[in-house]
Amino acid sequence: MSSAHYQALEPQTSDEDNEDIERRSHHPRCTATASAPSSMVRKGGVGRRRCLLPLVGGALCFIAFCYLTLSGETRSALGLGGSTEDSEEESHHGLGKQQVQLMETQPADFDASRLQEFVENYEGNTTEITQETELYESEFKIELPKVKKKFRRRHRFNSKLHSIHFRPLNESLHICSENLEDHRQFLQDKPRSDYGQLPVIYFVTPTYPRREQIPELTRLAHTLLHIPRLHWLVADDQEKCNNFIDTLLNRFGIPFTHLMSPMPSKFRNEKPAPRGVANRRAALQYLRQHNLTNGVLYFGDDDNTYDLQLFSEIRNTQRVSMFPVGLIADYGVSGPVVRKGKVVAFLDSWVAGRRWPVDMAGFAVNLEYMAQYPYVNMPYKPGYEEDLFLRSIGLKMDMIEPRGNNCTDILVWHTQTKSKKLGMIRLESKYLDDRSNLGALLLNLKLMGVASTTENEGRNALISKNGKEKPHSIILS
Ligand code: UGA
Ligand code: MN
């Protein structure tokens, strides 16, 4: 999706952001420096606050001040030039004092022009600029003295805990196959046409080749078969398209897109590796490229267990909905703490500085809301994927919509399948013809990545009759 599209959208920001936006667009002194286009003024949805408090003037000036500070100092801090205080030598390198140290932590592929572009073209709300500042600030240990205090107070960001590998969404996106037609006639005992008006759920499933992949996808498909108005984005973490998966997905009749999106090789041997990140990023890119701004996004791993009720609950997500996930870590659960119908905190046995300590399966996002955030991202940062994704879309506590009876029901379970090595079956290839079923069966198992047949490795294939092992030649010749 083009950035022009994002600008054209009318964002549904939080009340706080909206106040910022309205203040800016109404205050004559500040429109010159921090003006927002009038289209940024939210209509309907969350209720407009026209009554400006005396604080508004001060807040407005602070925003303008932050903007100016970021334009100057952030650029200077990142060595992007424009700072009159740089010495000649420093200017030569485009670096200020802090930047000499900073460059040591800066990854080779860091694209500084993205930040410069962002700051220069900044037209959004303060949440966006705050997020961006924080992400870069933590990644490169950038000191932003004048704005730091305010941002730190708002978000208590611990840069030591969050050495974020932030990069723009630029996954290699390859569509293996796609079928957007819904071939199912009846869903939950009703004809498909009965569901025509429902918002579409974009169910994003990262998956990867291992012995359990096909069984996991088969089980998940049989859950999704019951769900109307669902587009299944199956994003496979591998280098080439698996035709077996295409065939499998086509059989179900659920609208699907099969993407191929391998994890970048440099992360492959990391422990822990960022699992399912490249794939989810590819799916985000797909949504953006196809301008899909209606409906609801849900990240549904291939090994979880989903209650059908979950889908009814998330379908009407206005911005971000949340709900508990069962079988997570030590407590056997992770999810929001709700008081008087509002999410106020989180219960999860691993906090580690995460502002949003939730599981990937514990939230859903409205696509129109997400489209307001062109820097939506899921960095390659194991354990922090959910937190950083939710931060990249400007989430605030008061936006969260609790689901599942005010977060008392468990509608999704973090089940895990025991993984085993590829099976090895030792059998001479001369017996893998059509004289028996074994040729076709073992070929299928090979294509599914479950077992491979070898001539001379592993244990001899045990073939028995009447409780006794028989030579291959007797049964298969
Ligand atoms: C937990 C969370 O539920 C995941 O959403 C999160 O991505 C993961 O931790 C993490 O942070 O690493 P967990 O059960 O521990 O999940 O992880 P997996 O189920 O092994 O992987 C999560 C998803 O990524 C699965 O759908 C899996 O198929 C996929 N994956 C895993 C890959 O695409 N590539 C891999 O190399 C490994
Ligand atoms: Mn899992």
CA dihedral 302, 307, 311, 313 (to 10 degrees): -130
Nearest to 427 by CA among 469, 456, 470: 456
- Per-residue confidence (pLDDT) for residue 105, from 0 to 100: 34
pLDDT for position 392: 94
> Which residues contact residue 399 at a Cβ distance below 8 angstroms, ignoring those fewer than 6 apart?
14, 319, 320
Q: What is the pLDDT of residue 361?
A: 98
Q: What is the largest CA-CA distance in the chain?
A: 94
Q: Measuring CA to CA, which residue among 179, 158, 189 is closest to residue 233?
A: 179
Task: State residue 459's pLDDT score.
Answer: 83
Query: Residue 238 and residue 218: Cα distance in Å, rounded?
Result: 19
What is the per-residue pLDDT across 325-347, written as a single tens digit (0 to 9) for each? Answer: 999 999 999 999 999 999 999 99
Determine whether the shortest distance from the Cβ of 206 to ligand 1 is under 6 A. yes
Residues 106/99, Cβ–Cβ less than 8 Å: no
Q: Is 255 in the pocket of ligand 1 (CB under 6 A)?
A: no
Question: What residues pair up with 174 in beta bridges, in sequence order?
Answer: 260
CA distance 381 to 142: 19
DSSP 74: I
Of all protein residues, the one whose alpha carbon is nearest to atom 5 of ligand 1 is 360
| Ligand 1 neighbourhood includes 348 CB (under 6 angstroms) | no
Which ligand 1 atom is nearest residue 216's CA? 28
Question: Looking at residue 168, what is its pLDDT?
Answer: 59
Tell how far the Cα of 292 is from the centroid of ligand 2, in angstroms: 27
> Which one, of 269, 310, 305, lies nearest residue 415 by Cα?
305
Contact (Cβ atoms closer than 8 angstroms) between residue 134 and residue 151: yes
336 lines ligand 1 (CB under 6 A): no
Q: CA-to-CA distance for 179 and 175, rounded, in angstroms?
A: 11
Residue 257, ligand 1, Cβ within 6 A: no
- Select from 291, 281, 292, 364 the least CA-distant residue to 322: 364
User: What pLDDT shows up at residue 59?
Assistant: 55
C-alpha torsion sign, points 187, 189, 190, 195: negative
* Residue to mutate (ligand 1; options 233, 301, 416; most atoms within 8 A of CB): 301
Give the per-residue pLDDT at 433.
95
97-105 vs 126-140: helix crossing angle, rounded to 10: 80
Q: Which residue numbers are catalytic?
A: 386
pLDDT at 73: 34
* Per-residue tens of pLDDT for the chain, all 477 residues: 333 222 222 222 333 333 222 233 333 333 233 333 333 233 333 333 444 455 555 555 455 554 444 433 333 333 222 333 333 333 332 222 233 232 333 333 444 444 444 444 443 444 444 554 455 445 433 333 333 434 333 334 443 334 444 555 777 789 999 999 999 999 999 999 999 999 999 999 999 999 999 999 999 999 999 999 999 999 999 999 999 999 999 999 999 999 999 999 999 999 999 999 999 999 999 999 999 999 999 999 999 999 999 999 999 999 999 999 999 999 999 999 999 999 999 999 999 999 999 999 999 999 999 999 988 999 999 999 999 999 999 999 999 999 999 999 999 999 999 999 999 999 999 999 999 999 999 999 999 999 999 999 888 999 999 999 999 999 999
In angstroms, the CA 235 to CA 206 distance is: 5
Q: Which residues of 292-319 are buried (b: 16+ CB within 10 A; e: fewer)?
A: bbebbbbbbbbbbbbbeebbebbbebeb
